[in-house]
Structure formats: structure tokens, C-alpha cells
Amino acid sequence: MDSAFYEDIAGRLRGLLIRMSDRLTTKDQVLIVEFIDANEPGVALEQMAAGLSEDEKPLSADERSDMMALADRMNLGQRVSRALALCPSH
């Protein structure tokens, strides 16, 4: 990944993390930030999806769409979509 691509992805992940912080545990939030900071955005997005799906936390259509758009950009669509399938819509 070039630095502009990474910075865009990292910024979008941080935005999602802020939007969903009420539905993620502190532990998940800390791990996600650590993965973003370690230049592991794919792992960060997978952790976010796993954290949300673990307790079947609801997602808005926009949140789901934003996460899937990032997953598609990073070629993670299948793994993230499977986890998000467990999250009801709200």
C-alpha cells in the first residue's frame, strides 16, 4: 500500500471506530487502534467486524455499507461480510 492509500483507509477506519464505539468493547477498540497504528488495516477491519458480530450488535445500512466498501478495497469482502451477517440492521 502506498502512504496515501493507507492514510485514507486508516482515516476511514478511525471514523468507523468512533461511530461504533458504543457497540465495541474497550478491548476491541484498543486492539483496532493498535492494528491501525501498526499499518494492519485489514486486521483492524476484521477485528471490528468480529467484535460487532460477537454480540450481534446492530448496524445501520450506512455503517454496513461503509465497512463493506473498505473490505472490498482491501479484498476482505468474504471474511467481513460473514461476520457482519450476524449483525442485525437498525
Q: What is the model's pTM? A: 0.93
Per-domain boundaries in the chain: 3-19+26-84
User: Do residues 37 and 13 touch, judged by C-beta distance below 8 A?
Assistant: no
* Confidence category of residue 2, pLDDT binned at 50, 70, 90: confident
E-only strand ranges, the chain: none
Q: What is the pLDDT of residues 33-63, one digit of tens each?
A: 999 999 999 999 999 999 999 989 999 999 9
